[in-house]
Amino acid sequence: MSKKSADIVVIGGGVVGCATAFELARLGCKDIVLVERNTIASGSTGRCGAGVRQQFGTELNCVLARESVRIFEQMDEYLDYKPGVEFRQSGYLMLAYSDSQWEQFRRNVKLERSLDIDVEMLTPEGAREIVPFLNLEGMVGATFCQTDGHANPFHTAFAYAQAAKRLGAEVLTHTSVVDIEVENNRIKAVVTDKGRIETSAVVNCAGAYSAKIAAMAGIDLPVWGERHQILITEPVEAMMGPMVISFHHDFYCQQTPHGSFIMGIGMPGEPKSFNIHSSVDFLEGMAKTVMKILPPLGNLRVVRQWAGLYDRSPDAQPILGECPPVERFYNANGFSGHGFMVAPIVGRAMAELIMLGKPSVDISKLDAGRFERGELVLEPAVVG
């Protein structure tokens, strides 16, 4: 291990950690070490559904997603990444199956439009114009946002990591954090299995493992792992543009630019755990659900299934910002299944908070203290 000290240590080489390291470097911090226990994007980032949407039920989530989309739109140039992050704005089609859900969608759309996010409200027949083989049974309506889409999570994380390295950040993979030394609420060092790094600032981007990292600094952080599963099919010709989501079925499905269909459902009763083994139950539940909503997909073959962890927080919203009483211990975790899509703006906001004292997007409501204050930020629109 080369560096014995750093201005800032970023813990976690997922997309959030990589984006944070890059944005810190971009704002002039030259002495950054990013520590990742495995390889870049080996955890939740590399296991996620890859969707990027702006259709949310809280202003904060809408704004975080909208700002991230603006960065995704320019990302290949912004990060000078030749292979490209494969951002495609093929839309999100969100299906409603009850009057109360449709009412909620109506409120969401009103909010989204007030924030400059262009969302259409569609009849079931209107939804079928976008996805011709959609089963309309039981559907009340749908909303569609063309500027939503998806990107390649591996390339996005690699792009940020490479760009951060070019600006001088050191990226240590296969390196595990084993302790954080804190004295009088000041960080002294991050201890890894490869050596000790003296530092006064830590950004905790460890996903589902963030509570373990926080505990090393004596902080009780309410973040836990929750298994979610996905499968992917053989590639076929392009036949479906948007991500199709149904909260009623706890379901999402998207055709990737590669041609394969990627899909997931929430499994009821999933316990808190770090379990990332896939299950037969999921495969069966997934197959039944997708054939109900998108019947022709029954003709596709599953080539691979896998599992990953949501880094859940009590209100299914990220925890961002400094974490008193420990000075300069920053959290960027608890994303609860929508971390990839907001990572670009989260990385920027964290860097602005740390380097300039004030981020360009107000994230103050997402601090860890909100749980004690009882000021939860409840999001009505999440899968699982």
Partner 1 sequence: MTDRPERIDDDVIVCRCEDVTLGDIRRLIANGYHTIDEIKRISRAGMGQCQGRTCRHLIARELATALGVSVEEVEMPTFRPPTRPVLLSTIARGEGDE
Tokens 């997402």 belong to residue: 366
Which H/E stretch holds residue 121?
A: strand 120-122
Nearer to partner 1, 133 or 306 (CB): 306
Distance of alpha carbon 37 from alpha carbon 210, whole angstroms: 13
Q: Any idea what the Cα angle at residue 341 is, between residues 133 and 175, rounded to 5°?
A: 125
The type of residue at 266 is G
Q: Nearest distance from residue 321's CB to partner 1, in Å?
A: 31
Q: Nearest distance from residue 178's CB to partner 1, in Å?
A: 21
For CA atoms 365, 9, 179, 338, the dihedral sign is positive
Nearer to partner 1, 129 or 284 (CB): 284
Q: Nearest distance from residue 17's CB to partner 1, in Å?
A: 16
Q: Nearest distance from residue 307's CB to partner 1, in Å?
A: 9
> 230 - beta bridge partners?
264, 306
Q: Nearest distance from residue 155's CB to partner 1, in Å?
A: 7
The pairing of strands 149-150 and 177-183 is unpaired
Nearer to partner 1, 104 or 173 (CB): 173
Candidates 101, 39, 384, 332; CA nearest to 214 is: 332
Tokens 């905790």 belong to residue: 204
| Distance (Å) of CA 353 to CA 20, 190, 322, 347, 364 | 11, 21, 9, 10, 10
Q: Any idea what the Cα angle at residue 27 is, between residues 79 and 11, rounded to 5°?
A: 80
Nearer to partner 1, 285 or 337 (CB): 285
Which residues of the shown chain bind partner 1 in the complex (CB under 8 A)?
39-42, 46, 83, 154-155, 158, 233-234, 258, 278, 280-281, 283-284, 286-288, 290-291, 297-306
Q: Nearest distance from residue 94's CB to partner 1, in Å?
A: 22
Candidates 338, 346, 333; CA nearest to 384 is: 338
Nearer to partner 1, 28 or 83 (CB): 83
Nearer to partner 1, 28 or 259 (CB): 259
Q: Could you tell me where the beta strands, DSSP code E, fall in 69-201?
A: 92-96, 120-122, 141-145, 149-150, 170-172, 177-183, 186-192, 195-198
334 is written with which tokens? 């608890």
Q: Nearest distance from residue 267's CB to partner 1, in Å?
A: 14
For CA atoms 199, 213, 279, 269, the dihedral sign is negative
Q: Nearest distance from residue 278's CB to partner 1, in Å?
A: 6
Distance of alpha carbon 193 from alpha carbon 190, whole angstroms: 10
* 3-class state of residue 178 by DSSP: strand
Nearer to partner 1, 202 or 293 (CB): 293
Tokens 């980032």 belong to residue: 45
Nearer to partner 1, 201 or 230 (CB): 230
Q: Nearest distance from residue 158's CB to partner 1, in Å?
A: 6
Nearer to partner 1, 184 or 299 (CB): 299
CA 89 to chain centre: 17
